[in-house]
């Protein structure tokens, strides 16, 4: 697995670099978009994290968000790669415990309307933790995953992911024994994106 990642996985860190805007004020692709397109040729998957760093549009404006999605669709069409971007949930859904819904994305609904697939990551509630046999205080070691939109897939059930060393997330199999038989130690809590969407 590590050999495959070493040969095929490329990371372009943005920390400390100037803003990389993919579209200008007229919503036209920039030179940075053309550079990204060139870098992504031959790729099967492209991940932009977080999408807010790649545009200056008003997230609450439907036309701005539609233009962002269309730009990423253009990238997918020209490279043949699936394009994923990370985004965040809005505060209201987080506070109300509805961060698993398609409408939980921050900003205009055009962002969710324009993508083909959306995965929401949120904190697991007590009921989900009980279903997996997790005790009080263990929630911080786990993340709830819901596919809240999928244009070409049948509905999927909620999944539970465990935070493991290095910040990776591992799928927790559904309980097949008593809850006590499946208790896991809580992993150290780290940051997690609240939403991920596939543009094309």
- Where a domain ends, among 45, 66, 87? 87
Domain that holds residue 122: 116-194
150 Cα distance to chain centroid: 14
Query: Cβ-count burial of 23 within 10 angstroms (0-12 exposed, 13-18 middle, 19+ buried)?
Result: buried
**pTM of the complete model:** 0.80
pLDDT digits over 126-172, tens only?
Answer: 889 999 989 888 999 999 999 999 998 888 889 999 999 888 899 99
- Please report the pLDDT score of residue 180 as a whole number: 44
Same structural domain, 148 and 68: no
pLDDT digits over 43-67, tens only?
Answer: 999 999 999 999 999 999 999 999 9
- Please report the pLDDT score of residue 187 as a whole number: 42
- Please report the pLDDT score of residue 115 as a whole number: 95
How would you label 170-190 residue by residue, b for 16+ Cβ within 10 Å and e otherwise? eebeeeeeeeeeeeeebbeee
- Where a domain ends, among 87, 106, 134? 87
Percent of the chain's residues with pLDDT above 90: 56
DSSP conformation class of 90: -
In a domain, 25, yes or no: yes
- Please report the pLDDT score of residue 35 as a whole number: 94
pLDDT for 104 beyond 70: yes
In a domain, 109, yes or no: no
Same structural domain, 150 and 77: no
Residue 183's pLDDT band (cuts 50, 70, 90): very low
In a domain, 97, yes or no: no
Max Cα-Cα span within the chain: 58
In a domain, 102, yes or no: no
- Where a domain ends, among 87, 103, 128? 87
Instruction: Provide the number of structural domains found in the chain.
Output: 2
The residue among 143, 13, 18 whose CA lies nearest residue 89 is 143
């Amino acid at each position: 697995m590590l050999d495959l990642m070493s040969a095929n996985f490329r990371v372009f860190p943005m920390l400390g670099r100037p803003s990389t805007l993919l579209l200008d004020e007229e919503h036209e692709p920039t030179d940075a978009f053309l550079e990204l397109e060139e870098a992504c040729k031959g790729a099967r998957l492209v991940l932009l994290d977080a999408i807010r760093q790649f545009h200056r549009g008003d997230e609450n404006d439907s036309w701005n968000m539609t233009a962002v999605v269309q730009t990423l669709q253009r990238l997918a069409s020209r490279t043949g790669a699936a394009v994923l971007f990370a985004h965040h949930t809005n505060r209201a859904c987080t506070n109300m415990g509805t961060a698993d819904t398609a409408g939980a994305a921050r900003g205009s609904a055009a962002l969710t309307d324009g993508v083909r697939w959306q995965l929401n990551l949120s904190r697991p509630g007590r009921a989900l933790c009980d279903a997996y046999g997790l005790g009080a205080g263990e929630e911080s070691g786990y993340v709830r995953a819901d596919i809240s939109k999928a244009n070409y897939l049948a509905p999927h059930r909620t999944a539970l992911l465990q935070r493991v060393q290095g910040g990776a997330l591992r799928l927790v199999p559904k309980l097949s024994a008593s809850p006590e038989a499946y208790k896991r130690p809580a992993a150290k809590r780290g940051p997690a994106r609240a939403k991920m969407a596939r543009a094309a």
